[in-house]
Amino acid sequence: MRSLDADVCVVGAGAGGAVVAAELAEGGARVVLLEQGAYHDPDGFTASPPEMLAHLYRDGGQSVTLGAPPIALPLGRGIGGTTLVNSGTCFRTPPRVLERWAREFGLQLDEASLRPCFERVERALSVREVTPELAGENAAVARRGAERLGWSHGYLKRNARGCVGSGVCAFGCPTSAKQHTGITYIPRAAAASAEIVTGADVHNVLVERGSARGVRARLAGGDALEVRARDVVLACGTIHTPLLLERSGLRDSSGQRGRNLALHPATAGFALMDETVDMARGVPQSFYIDEFADEGVMLEGVAGPPAYAAMALPLTGERHARAMARYRRLAQFGLMVSDASRGRVRSIAGRPIIRYDLCPEDMSRFRIGLARMEELFRAAGAREVYLPLPEGARPHSARARDLKLMAFHPLGTARADARATHGVTDGDLAVHGVPGLHLADGSVVPSALGVNPQMTIMALATRLAFSLLGQAVPASNPSPAPPTDQRPTKEKEIACRS
């Protein structure tokens, strides 16, 4: 068995883990970061959706929930985690959500206390608003519709630098413009001497006299690895963190572990326009309409190359072929529901089983959203509208089984709650009843946000890191990502094994 010693062992190199690892390492802590997946070299990005789904996503992008309806839940895997394959949309946690967290979960996370965390993350990721030119014609269609209807809208903020609108954010950015954690925080962590080990499948947390003291993992080559550390931070993502807690034999006094899963279920519609749209030219997710956010419905841009569009287009047979022949004139827009439905994650034979049923309230939100989407496309001048419903079905009469849903934002399976009887972690993301064990991913987020969650996760991770360092979050700029290539190399892994 190989062994490593550290002050802090972080598990997972996505939105939460990468941030914690970099901030702690730069603060002087000895950090070991374990990642189950690989480092993905951008030279291997081909802009081919099926190839990249197989390469960059967990389970080939074919994770799916069981329930009514089944929902595709694609998750990134590897250095950068889902930040490598998301759309890069950056929203701060809405104030109304923070107020709810204080009211219902006793969390002292107000706008003022989180502001330094958000500002620090936004500087580290070069967050800025997409320009209309870069957004492309697909966003222009939605903007035209929203303006004609008088709906509240805007261009999204994203973590991108030097973006040229390649149109394949979800399939590996070929220009490395998207500032995912694999090219921002991870190089900083490596430059600050964090030991980064890829291909490390963590089996359990080591617990001694009731406190976390490290983790035990299996390396890609088959060797066992034990990391001993004063503190352990789990950031394996909303689906896998509760399962790792369970595998570790930790008591769950709240009974909430694996429960309260929110997903932000989403779908997308298409419209045939008179003009050339070329939806994959520009930033796929660059524009939003928040007119119905208070009703739990957010409309956001979505687009992609022909293979992706063909997969998502809600038509079959001859109608599908006819619409695809006019791909250059197709526009697409998505809708996302801030869900009240709650699911559950369990492990059966070592695999996560995700149960999630859409509740009537959310079904009603989808009916509203689909009707609004059709209205939007018509107002923009669409010749035909293809809603994600079976032929002949209308939004107002849609049933759960009619919907073709995907979800990208799993949250809440180890929710934070100030009370140990109601949540898995406290407001400081420390696991109730297990000193030295902390969580830093979407699992701690106690409710749906109604907006893309990466900034919330990163801000909470920043707060956790500085809390472990015993420091306030500084107002100064974070370190720039090192100019040299600081990827976690095979040599690092070999060094760790030797």
Catalytic residues: 409
* DSSP letter assigned to residue 73: -
**Residue bearing tokens 């500032």:** 179
Q: In the set 16, 145, 167, 269, which binds another protein (CB under 8 A)?
A: 167
**In 3-state terms, what secondary structure has residue 3?**
strand
Q: In the set 5, 27, 50, 129, which binds another protein (CB under 8 A)?
A: 50
CB contact at 8 A, 267 and 335: yes
Other Cβ atoms within 10 Å of 418 Cβ, number: 17
Q: How many residues belong to the site for another protein (CB under 8 A)?
A: 59
The angle formed by the CA atoms of residues 490, 496 and 497, to the nearest 5 degrees, is 90
Which residues are bridge partners to 127 per DSSP? 159
Give the nearer residue to another protein in terms of CB position, either 250 or 277: 277
The angle formed by the CA atoms of residues 140, 146 and 148, to the nearest 5 degrees, is 100
Question: Per CB under 8 A, does 364 bind another protein?
Answer: no
Question: Per CB under 8 A, does 162 bind another protein?
Answer: yes
d(CA 239, CA 243): 7
Question: Whole-number minimum distance, CB 65 to another protein, in Å?
Answer: 12
Give the nearer residue to another protein in terms of CB position, either 95 or 162: 162
Question: Per CB under 8 A, does 407 bind another protein?
Answer: no
d(CA 355, CA 327): 35
Q: In the set 43, 274, 318, 491, which binds another protein (CB under 8 A)?
A: 43
Question: Per CB under 8 A, does 368 bind another protein?
Answer: no
Whose CA is closest to 160, among 472, 454, 495? 454
Question: Whole-number minimum distance, CB 405 to another protein, in Å?
Answer: 11
Token pair of 101 as six digits:
């967290």
Residue span binding another protein (CB under 8 A) among the ranges 112-120, 168-176, 235-243, 369-377: 168-176
Question: Per CB under 8 A, does 204 bind another protein?
Answer: no
Residue span binding another protein (CB under 8 A) among the ranges 148-156, 219-227, 249-257, 323-331: 323-331
Query: In angstroms, what CA-CA distances link 77 with 16, 35, 39, 61, 85?
Result: 13, 9, 9, 10, 9
Give the nearer residue to another protein in terms of CB position, either 135 or 229: 135
Question: Per CB under 8 A, does 295 bind another protein?
Answer: no
Question: Per CB under 8 A, does 176 bind another protein?
Answer: yes
Give the nearer residue to another protein in terms of CB position, either 310 or 340: 310
Q: In the set 38, 206, 293, 307, which binds another protein (CB under 8 A)?
A: 307
Q: In the set 14, 17, 61, 343, which binds another protein (CB under 8 A)?
A: 61
Question: Per CB under 8 A, does 70 bind another protein?
Answer: yes
Question: Per CB under 8 A, does 334 bind another protein?
Answer: no
Whose CA is closest to 493, among 80, 18, 79? 79
Give the nearer residue to another protein in terms of CB position, either 42 or 210: 42
Give the nearer residue to another protein in terms of CB position, either 134 or 444: 134
Contacts of 266 (CB under 8 A, 6+ apart): 334, 335, 336, 337, 405, 406, 407, 408
Q: In the set 5, 7, 30, 64, which binds another protein (CB under 8 A)?
A: 64
Residues 463-482 touching another protein, rule: CB under 8 A, are: 481
Whose CA is closest to 198, among 461, 3, 495, 489? 489
Question: Per CB under 8 A, does 173 bind another protein?
Answer: yes
CB contact at 8 A, 256 and 422: yes
Question: Whole-number minimum distance, CB 55 to another protein, in Å?
Answer: 8
* Sequence-ordered strand ranges (E) for 116-190: 127-129, 153-155, 157-159
d(CA 450, CA 297): 8
Give the nearer residue to another protein in terms of CB position, either 8 or 190: 190
Question: Per CB under 8 A, does 128 bind another protein?
Answer: no
d(CA 397, CA 58): 35
Q: In the set 5, 129, 246, 278, which binds another protein (CB under 8 A)?
A: 278
Give the nearer residue to another protein in terms of CB position, either 105 or 327: 327
CB contact at 8 A, 414 and 439: yes
Kind of pairing, strands 437-439 and 224-234? parallel
**Residue bearing tokens 């996505």:** 14
Other Cβ atoms within 10 Å of 262 Cβ, number: 28
Whose CA is closest to 347, among 244, 422, 260? 244
Q: In the set 47, 368, 371, 469, which binds another protein (CB under 8 A)?
A: 47
Q: In the set 21, 73, 177, 299, which binds another protein (CB under 8 A)?
A: 177
Q: In the set 7, 51, 129, 246, which binds another protein (CB under 8 A)?
A: 51
Question: Whole-number minimum distance, CB 308 to another protein, in Å?
Answer: 8
d(CA 186, CA 204): 23
Token pair of 298 as six digits:
């957010």
List interacting residues with another protein (CB under 8 A).
42-43, 45-51, 53-54, 57, 59-64, 69-70, 162, 164, 166-168, 173-177, 183, 187, 276, 278, 280, 305-314, 316-317, 320, 324, 327-328, 351, 390, 401, 404, 481, 483, 485, 487
